[in-house]
Amino acid sequence: MKNILLIHTGGTISMQVNAETGAVVPSDSNPLLVEADKLNSLAHIIELEIFNLPSPHITPFEMFRIKELIDQYIDKGEIDGVVITHGTDTLEETAYFLDLTIGPAIPIVLTGAMRSANEIGSDGLYNLVSAIQVASSDDAVGKGVLVVLNDEIHTAVNVTKTHASNVSTFQSPQYGPIGFISKSIVYFHHTPNHQPVFPIQQINKKVALFKVYAGMEADLLEAAINVGYDGIVLEGLGQGNVPPSLVPAIQDLLAKDIPIVLVSRCFNGIAQDVYGYMGGGKGLKDLGVIFAQGLNGQKARLALLIALNHPDPKQALLSIFTR
């Protein structure tokens, strides 16, 4: 049997419905911690609760703590895989952060739940069992950080939460899952390309994310300069365009060596330097805006944050965003 490090961080998977108010709230004790016998039939489990937070409370600092903990166990050579239970709202961001900062030597799998532990049809324990099965699979080695819910296996780079409450919320637009779980079988139908890893020692930079909209004013970008942001991500229109009103502020940011990364706000497709009008992608790229192909805004923000915290930010930017 494999040795699996099981890290609990909180989220709906560890919450219960309050019988009086109907609100879903954190439990005094994580209900998953009493399932040790069931889990130990699947693998030798080393179980830790690093914190117990709803996922909207998780920041890159907590993500960095998880990374450091995993690194410690990998360095000891005591584990064959990692499973992390996590709230679903920011699960994809933690998964992608770890994907960029920890090498793929052992499987790392994140899972969560859309229904709390005492709701009818609770999916938490089932998803946890599936995640342990995947983390224990030899076929999961080298595939990067994975997300497992609802019998599907997704890559951290592509997966996103697509529905506010449905148990099949996690999807990978354009690509789909890379595998599935069926009873005791873990099956991968293809292997993803894996990107370089950027081990960082600290998080001390600030990156803002702005969703571009029709008629957007430039004052938000100008404010980002004044309050000390180190980088900006724009979720641009269509294939990577912005209203012309933003162009002077973009020029000011770039002149101050504040990198700007552009993604498309569209659910499918990628940002490209196609259009040549004022605010079009061609002119933005000529100014020095970086195009992040295939990432959504929240993941591009983490990628830029990690690059800026790397010992060689310029090289990290090239490696992460150049395809």
Angle between helical axes of 297-309 and 313-321 (0-180°, round to 10): 150
Catalytic pick from 9, 12, 94, 160?
Answer: 12
Sign of CA dihedral 116, 121, 123, 126: positive
- Phi/psi for 129 (5° steps) reads -60, -45
* Rg (alpha carbons) of the chain, rounded to whole number: 20
- Annotated catalytic, 111? no
Do residues 243 and 214 touch, judged by C-beta distance below 8 A? yes
CA-wise closest residue to 195 among 68, 298, 84, 98? 98
Annotated active-site positions, please? 12
